[in-house]
């Protein structure tokens, strides 16, 4: 064989010999470092098919071309900053898109196998999971299904409307209460800009309507009345209560972070700690549970040595929001996990029923059995009270406490205590303090003293949880930082006021207008405290509803879960008989 043809053969033989020598030496080394009889642990090389089929450029291009992302990016300058990372375990690419001050404006997940975009989030959906339109994330899939939601809405409307005179402003009031369901449709689709905008008109209408009733004694000469017999109202209410409670119990895993926070806070109180700064976190702690769908493990060993599911921002509420859960946690306990949380279910059901019972008591006192049945029916049939109940939040606690105070409104001490307890559940109730202070006949020294005594004692009782900490000064500072300090600077896309953070063309920045609205809310609270000078139950209910609606309208972070705050007082303003105001006492 000629010489030139032997060179490749010799080279191949030499290479094979070297590979054999290296492989043999590696095997000997492994055998020498492995105990007798033990199987050596080998780390196989990644197979060729573990390499991504797409390039980063290809994954980024797929996300940028995705119609949803492409339409959103039209609102920003061309050539955004992008980044793509490949996950070998899931065989997917995650692509991030940034644009100047707006930060991350889009995110997408691309299947490596076929280049298909499996997830695409834009605008608020990037940072907010609740903006992604997950079906049943709030309220559960059954309640928010078209059939059940429309059935509840129809029962509420038919039960309270005057079918003989349907074309009246009272019918419009009921439709305004139900129209939030249109906004909810868009929220459930993940279209939060549309949902936030559609929530504004009914808020404004109900605010104007209740303020008109409260400030003008003759604005509502004839109260709203159901045409159903009392026994029918009572029977339907009992059926709805059973349906709602049964649905809540049957759907165990519907507790959102608000209800979970209440359980954690109650657990901390029972352990001799204040809830503030003591929520379970994930940073720098040992994992003690499986990873979730997003690949992140929520369960970590906390500073108390217990494995708990994280809820780091669960301490943003007033102390009563945690004390209210203490009886249920004491009776039912807590596993430390974000599981079915029976204590959260029990507390939500208890305060939902308490609000209904308080409405019945008010109706019985001020209008007799028919009004009692009508008010209880209104609470049970309104879809958004069921929505809060099925989400197992703390949003029935505040109205339940206020309704008990309304029932005992002739006592300044009771009004003061109720205002304080409600305010330190949800801080929104603080806007009511001047109005409830001046109920009936304005400022009188004796009334002021008794109201202040009730408010003060209830406040001290609520904030006694801070005494559980070694340093009261540090506890107060932590309370402020974790609650009002956090909420006052909070960004959110769930109202029209938070849209400026996205710096998107066509999405207005209304922050300056929000400041004007907030000033007007404070002014409204001041005016309502002095006008009308003599107030009856109708005026108190109507102005309470107006102030809470105005407060909600000014919030950066708004939710459908807040509608149970105002519903009882809207119903009271529409249904209470207009009593002849008592004569003002002589100076």
Interatomic CA distance for residues 233 and 75, integer angstroms: 52
Question: Please, are residues 366 and 577 in contact by the beta-carbon 8 Å criterion?
Answer: yes
Question: Six-digit token pair at 583?
Answer: 């004569």
The one-digit pLDDT tens for each residue of the chain (587 residues) are 333 333 333 333 333 333 333 333 333 333 333 333 333 333 344 444 578 889 999 999 999 999 999 999 999 999 999 999 999 989 999 999 999 999 999 999 999 999 999 999 999 999 999 999 988 889 999 999 999 999 999 999 999 998 888 889 999 999 999 999 999 999 999 999 999 999 999 999 999 999 999 998 777 778 888 889 999 999 999 999 999 999 999 998 999 999 999 999 999 999 999 999 999 999 878 999 888 766 678 899 999 999 999 999 999 999 999 999 999 999 999 999 999 999 999 999 999 999 999 999 999 999 999 999 999 999 999 999 999 999 999 999 999 999 999 999 999 999 999 999 999 999 999 999 999 999 987 778 889 999 999 999 999 999 999 999 999 999 999 999 999 999 998 899 999 999 999 999 999 999 999 999 999 999 999 999 999 999 999 999 999 999 999 999 999 999 999 999 999 999 999 999 976 544 433 33
Phi and psi at residue 522, to the nearest 5°: -65, -40
Q: How many CB atoms lie within 10 A of CB 175?
A: 14
Q: How many CA atoms lie within 13 A of 69 on its CB side?
A: 27
Q: How many CB atoms lie within 10 A of CB 333?
A: 13
Pairing assessment for the beta strands 104-111 and 92-98 based on DSSP bridges: antiparallel
| 474 contact partners, CB below 8 Å, separation of at least 6 | none
Pairing assessment for the beta strands 299-301 and 307-309 based on DSSP bridges: antiparallel
Question: Please, are residues 429 and 466 in contact by the beta-carbon 8 Å criterion?
Answer: no
- Quickly tell me which residue has 């409104």 as its tokens: 409
Q: 232, exposed or middle or buried, with CB in 10 Å at 0-12, 13-18, 19+?
A: middle
Q: What is residue 227's three-state secondary structure?
A: coil
Question: Please, are residues 498 and 557 in contact by the beta-carbon 8 Å criterion?
Answer: yes
Interatomic CA distance for residues 48 and 430, integer angstroms: 65
For residue 297, give the DSSP letter: B
pLDDT at 293: 66
Question: Please, are residues 178 and 156 in contact by the beta-carbon 8 Å criterion?
Answer: yes
Q: Which residues pair with 97 in a beta bridge?
A: 82, 106
Compute CA distances 451 → 361, 364, 428, 442, 522, whole Å: 22, 25, 19, 12, 21
Compute CA distances 487 → 91, 420, 466, 556, whole Å: 39, 19, 20, 9
pTM of the model: 0.89
Interatomic CA distance for residues 373 and 243, integer angstroms: 18
Q: Which residues pair with 121 in a beta bridge?
A: 107
Q: Per-residue DSSP letters for 196-210?
A: HHHHHHHHHHHHHHH
Contacts of 89-92 with CB under 8 Å at 24 or more apart are 91/52, 92/118
Q: ∠ CA 324-327-328 to the nearest 5 degrees? A: 95
- Quickly tell me which residue has 């689709």 as its tokens: 189
Question: Please, are residues 317 and 561 in contact by the beta-carbon 8 Å criterion?
Answer: no
Cis-peptide, bond into residue 455, ω within 30° of zero: no
Q: ∠ CA 68-71-72 to the nearest 5 degrees? A: 85
C-alpha 579 chain-centroid distance: 38
Nearest Cα to Cα of residue 396 among 359, 362, 349:
349
Q: What is residue 495's three-state secondary structure?
A: coil
């Amino acid at each position: 064989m000629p010489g030139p043809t032997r060179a490749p053969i010799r080279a191949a033989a030499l290479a094979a010999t070297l590979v054999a020598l290296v492989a043999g030496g590696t095997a000997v080394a492994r055998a020498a470092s492995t105990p007798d009889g033990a199987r050596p642990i080998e780390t196989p090389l990644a197979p060729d098919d573990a390499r991504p089929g797409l390039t980063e450029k290809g994954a980024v291009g797929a996300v940028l071309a995705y119609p949803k992302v492409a339409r959103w990016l039209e609102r920003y300058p061309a050539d955004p900053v992008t980044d793509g990372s490949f996950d070998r375990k899931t065989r997917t690419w995650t692509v991030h898109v940034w644009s100047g001050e707006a930060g991350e404006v889009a995110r997408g997940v691309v299947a490596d196998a076929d280049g298909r975009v499996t997830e695409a989030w834009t605008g608020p959906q990037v940072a907010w999971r609740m903006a992604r339109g997950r079906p049943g994330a709030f309220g559960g899939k059954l309640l928010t299904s078209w059939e059940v939601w429309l059935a509840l809405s129809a029962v509420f409307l038919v039960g309270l409307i005057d079918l003989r005179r349907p074309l009246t402003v009272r019918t419009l009031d009921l439709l305004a209460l139900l129209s939030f369901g249109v906004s909810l449709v868009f929220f459930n689709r993940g279209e939060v800009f549309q949902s936030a905008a559609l929530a504004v008109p009914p808020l404004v209408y109900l605010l104007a309507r209740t303020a008109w009733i409260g400030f003008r004694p003759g604005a509502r000469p004839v109260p709203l009345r159901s045409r159903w017999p009392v026994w029918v109202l009572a029977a339907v209410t009992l059926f709805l209560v059973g349906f709602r409670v049964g649905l809540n119990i049957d759907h165990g895993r519907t507790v959102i972070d608000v209800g979970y926070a209440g359980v954690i806070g109650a657990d901390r109180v029972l352990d001799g700690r204040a809830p503030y700064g003591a929520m379970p976190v994930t940073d720098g702690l040992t994992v003690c549970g499986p990873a979730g769908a997003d690949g992140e493990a929520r369960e970590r060993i906390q500073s108390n040595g217990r494995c708990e599911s994280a809820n780091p921002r669960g301490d943003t509420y007033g102390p009563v929001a945690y004390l209210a859960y203490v009886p249920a946690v004491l009776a039912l306990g807590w596993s430390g996990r974000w599981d079915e949380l029976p204590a959260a279910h029990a507390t939500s059901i208890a305060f939902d029923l308490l609000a209904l019972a308080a409405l019945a008591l008010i109706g019985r006192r001020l209008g007799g059995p028919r009004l009692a049945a009508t008010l209880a029916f209104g609470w049970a049939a309104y879809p958004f009270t069921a929505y809060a109940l099925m989400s197992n939040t703390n949003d029935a606690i505040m109205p339940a406490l206020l309704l008990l105070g309304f029932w005992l409104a002739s006592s300044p001490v009771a009004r003061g205590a109720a205002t304080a307890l409600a305010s330190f559940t949800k801080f929104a109730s603080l806007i009511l303090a001047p109005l409830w202070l001046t109920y009936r006949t304005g400022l009188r020294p004796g009334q002021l003293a008794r109201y202040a005594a009730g408010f003060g004692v209830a406040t001290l009782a609520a904030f006694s949880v801070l005494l559980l900490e070694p340093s009261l000064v540090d506890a107060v500072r932590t309370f402020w930082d974790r609650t009002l300090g956090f909420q006052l600077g909070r960004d959110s896309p769930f109202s029209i006021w938070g849209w400026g953070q996205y710096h998107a063309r066509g999405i207005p920045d209304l922050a300056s207008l929000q400041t004007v609205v907030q000033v007007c809310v404070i002014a409204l609270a001041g005016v309502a405290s002095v006008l009308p000078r003599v107030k009856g139950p109708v005026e108190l209910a109507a102005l309470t509803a107006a102030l809470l609606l105005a407060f909600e309208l000014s919030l950066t972070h708004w939710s459908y879960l807040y509608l149970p705050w105002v519903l009882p007082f809207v119903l009271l303003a529409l249904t209470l008989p207009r009593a002849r105001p008592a004569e003002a006492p002589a100076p």
